[in-house]
């Protein structure tokens, strides 16, 4: 699907989409439990992949649309060996979290995904499972899916790098809670995207599971039971909120208000302060969960995305619209997402007329030398690239067409409908 946007003014009120990160973890936590009710979940291509995985391990997931909840029957910490291959589609979170779950099963589990997912690194997680006594192999011996995983692991100690993906740590902590001995993880390198592990610890606590940071990494004791009591409610997603906030400071003359934006462990809520530092008019009533952004004159900043990789596309677009230079640092791990997001943003923004310099760890955007014009842009089958370019299209001269725009279904299925409701000129 191709989507075309024209220069537009937006405004009004809109609800923050539910968090993808929290939804993934809550679905799998309910799977590790005897069951649970997950309210206000994000229903998207990625989270459906995690639902299918829970069902493959012997659980069941019922989506009650009228009540906006998932009723999940779990596998009680003892996953069955799946009868078929688990297809994780394009979801890196799904394959990593369920790879660790598969290491608890008696038989062998095969996990795979689409072409993009099959190019993403899984090697550190496979090696950690090996250290814990399981079997974990890449069928092509390149550390990438398809994967073959077996167990059952009973816990123990493992060393793992922290600068490839925080999802490896999340996966092992979630699985470790139901092993006999628990799991002690030693980080071999500095942890990147650390707030995502904080999210995991928060969700585990909500499900009655204790895990914590240790001197050199993380630890979770064994023989724990997952139990969410009366259920779990998913908070709003600040990764998705970032696009709405950007639309507000770039194109909302009379302001745009986002509801359901409550503080949480999400690292991506840093977007609020980043935009304020750029001079953006953003107010946040944290008690009411309301963010309001209004069109502003922005100035360039230097910002690290070591802990907030998903914000890079949004910040890059804001930098292209700002006066002066915006420098985004600590970018290398952002290259290992659905696509190489550093190169993708550099190439597409240049095509729109932005002045962009790309280095391995850094992306520099000279907003003063940039004048955005509409163009036909490849969305790279990446939801975050597509949504950020759509925001750029709101302020570019002429029409901006984004190809493969259906991939917003990964995290924000009604994104273009929301933009249209807020006043943007959008055609499919």
Per-residue pLDDT of the chain (428 residues; tens, 9 = 90+): 999 999 999 999 999 999 999 999 999 999 999 999 999 999 999 999 999 999 999 999 999 999 999 999 999 999 999 999 999 999 999 999 999 999 999 999 999 999 999 999 999 999 999 999 999 999 999 999 999 999 999 999 999 999 999 999 999 999 999 999 999 999 999 999 999 999 999 999 999 999 999 999 999 999 999 999 999 999 999 999 999 999 999 999 999 999 999 999 999 999 999 999 999 999 999 999 999 999 999 999 999 999 999 999 999 999 999 999 999 999 999 998 999 999 999 999 999 999 999 999 999 999 999 999 999 999 999 999 999 999 999 999 999 999 999 999 999 999 999 999 999 999 99
CATH number of 20-233: 3.65.10.10
CB of 104 closer than 8 Å to CB of 152: yes
Q: Is 193 annotated for ligand binding?
A: yes
CB of 243 closer than 8 Å to CB of 314: yes
Cis upstream peptide for 366 (omega within 30°) = no
User: Which of 184, 307, 310, 366 is an active site residue?
Assistant: 310
Catalytic residue flag (residue 310): yes
What's the alpha-carbon Rg for the chain, to the nearest Å? 21
Do 3-17+236-427 and 20-233 come out as alike in CATH topology?
yes
Q: Is 276 annotated for ligand binding?
A: no
- To which residue do tokens 């409908």 refer? 417
Q: Is 343 annotated for ligand binding?
A: no
Q: Is 428 annotated for ligand binding?
A: no
The full set of domain ranges for the chain reads: 3-17+236-427, 20-233
Q: Is 384 annotated for ligand binding?
A: yes
Instruction: In whole angstroms, give the CA distance from residue 85 to residue 335.
Output: 27
Q: Is 92 annotated for ligand binding?
A: yes
Task: State residue 308's pLDDT score.
Answer: 96
Task: State residue 403's pLDDT score.
Answer: 98
Instruction: In whole angstroms, give the CA distance from residue 256 to residue 293.
Output: 5
Topology (CATH level 3) of domain 3-17+236-427: UDP-n-acetylglucosamine1-carboxyvinyl-transferase; Chain (3.65.10)
Q: What phi and psi, each to the nearest 5 degrees, are found at residue 259?
A: -95, 165
Strand order in the sheet with 69-73: 60-64, 69-73, 35-39, 232-233
Q: Is 21 annotated for ligand binding?
A: yes
Count Cα atoms within 13 angstroms, Cβ side, for 173: 28
Task: State residue 115's pLDDT score.
Answer: 95
Task: State residue 277's pLDDT score.
Answer: 98
What distances in angstroms separate CA 385 from CA 302, 344, 382, one per listed residue? 21, 7, 5
Q: Is 310 annotated for ligand binding?
A: yes
CB of 318 closer than 8 Å to CB of 275: yes
Task: State residue 197's pLDDT score.
Answer: 97
């Amino acid at each position: 699907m191709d989507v075309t946007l024209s220069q537009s003014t937006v405004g009004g009120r809109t609800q923050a989409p539910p968090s993808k990160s929290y939804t993934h973890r809550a679905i799998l936590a309910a799977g590790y439990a005897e069951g649970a009710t997950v309210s206000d979940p994000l229903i998207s291509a990625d989270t459906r992949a995690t639902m299918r995985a829970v069902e493959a391990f012997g659980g069941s997931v019922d989506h009650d649309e009228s009540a906006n909840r998932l009723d999940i029957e779990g596998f009680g910490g003892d996953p069955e060996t799946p009868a078929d291959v688990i297809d994780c589609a394009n979801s890196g979170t799904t394959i990593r979290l369920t790879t660790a779950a598969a290491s608890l099963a008696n038989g062998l589990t095969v996990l795979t995904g689409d072409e993009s997912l099959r190019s993403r690194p899984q090697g550190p997680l496979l090696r950690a499972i090996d250290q814990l006594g399981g079997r974990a192999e890449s069928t092509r011996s390149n550390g990438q899916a398809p994967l073959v995983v077996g167990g059952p692991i009973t816990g123990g100690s493992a060393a793992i790098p922290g600068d490839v993906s925080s999802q490896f740590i999340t996966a092992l902590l979630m699985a470790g809670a139901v092993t006999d001995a628990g799991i002690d993880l030693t980080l071999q390198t500095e942890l990147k995207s650390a707030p995502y592990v904080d999210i995991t610890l928060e969700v585990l606590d909500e499900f009655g599971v204790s895990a914590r940071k240790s001197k050199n990494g993380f630890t979770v004791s064994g023989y724990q039971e997952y139990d969410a009591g009366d259920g779990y409610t998913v908070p709003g997603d600040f990764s998705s909120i970032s696009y709405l906030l950007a639309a507000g400071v770039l194109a909302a003359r009379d302001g745009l208000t986002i509801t359901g934006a409550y503080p949480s462990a999400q690292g991506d809520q840093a977007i609020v302060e980043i935009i304020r530092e750029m001079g953006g008019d953003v107010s946040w009533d944290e008690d009411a969960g309301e963010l309001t952004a209004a069109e502003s004159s922005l100035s360039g900043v230097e910002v690290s995305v070591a802990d907030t990789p998903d914000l890079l596309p949004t910040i890059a677009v804001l930098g292209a619209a700002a006066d002066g230079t915006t420098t985004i640092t600590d970018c290398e791990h952002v290259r290992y997402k659905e696509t190489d997001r550093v190169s993708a943003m550099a190439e597409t923004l240049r095509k729109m007329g932005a002045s962009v310099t790309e280095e391995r760890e850094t992306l520099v955007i000279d907003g003063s030398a940039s004048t955005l014009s509409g163009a036909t842009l490849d969305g790279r089958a990446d939801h975050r690239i597509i949504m950020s370019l759509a925001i750029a299209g709101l302020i570019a001269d002429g029409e901006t067409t984004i190809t493969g725009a259906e991939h917003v279904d990964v995290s924000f299925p009604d994104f273009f409908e929301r933009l249209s409701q807020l006043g943007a000129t959008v055609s499919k």
